Amino acid sequence: MSPSSYVVRVAEDPADREACFAVRKEVFVVEQGVPQDLEYDAYDADALHVVAVREDGLPFGAGRLLYGEVAAAKTGGEPGVGSLGRLAVLKAARGLGVGAALVRGIEDAARARGLTAVDLHAQTHALGFYERLGYVAYGPEFLDAGIAHLAMRREL
């Protein structure tokens, strides 16, 4: 699979959303051992979901953006800040730039909604990835689903 053989798009219909959930299940529940009841939450219903799909229709990457009132709990209540989360790329597609393309797609969606920054909670092993995309860590390390995380932000 080459980097030019896929598209990143906003999940527009129920099938796209199910594709996002399938990718997340494979990465977080199966691969990382996150309990399924923690992986899927009440935020999913109102979130903007983004999916990476191969030319043949196979989904292999996903992420979501929370914005407005639903993002407040994750961003310190700042109205112009969105919350990027649940970024997942299937193992076979890692290293091809898919994660970065998903982040940029989420940032584009954030800009289109008038947001001025994006926060995220990064697993500590992924800090370098997000730093290369312009995110800056802040605050203390914390556990989420038993995995060490740091909060990060990028101004748009």
Phi first, then psi: what are they for 107, rounded to 5°? -65, -40
Interval 21-38: pLDDT, tens: 999 999 999 999 998 888
Q: What is the pTM of this model?
A: 0.91
- pLDDT tens per residue, range 83-131: 999 999 999 999 889 999 999 999 999 999 999 999 999 999 999 999 9
Longest CA span, the chain: 42
Q: Give the pLDDT confidence score for residue 79 in this predicted structure.
A: 84
Nearest to 49 by CA among 74, 27, 24: 24
Q: How confident is the model at residue 4 (pLDDT cuts 50, 70, 90)?
A: low
- pLDDT greater at residue 78 or residue 128: 128
- Measured distance CA(35)–CA(4) in Å, rounded: 34
Q: How far apart are CA 156 and CA 154, in angstroms?
A: 6
3-state DSSP call for residue 95?
coil
Q: Between these two residues, 111 and 41, which has the higher pLDDT value?
A: 111
Nearest Cα to Cα of residue 63 among 113, 115, 1, 16: 16
Q: In this predicted structure, what is the pLDDT of residue 1?
A: 47
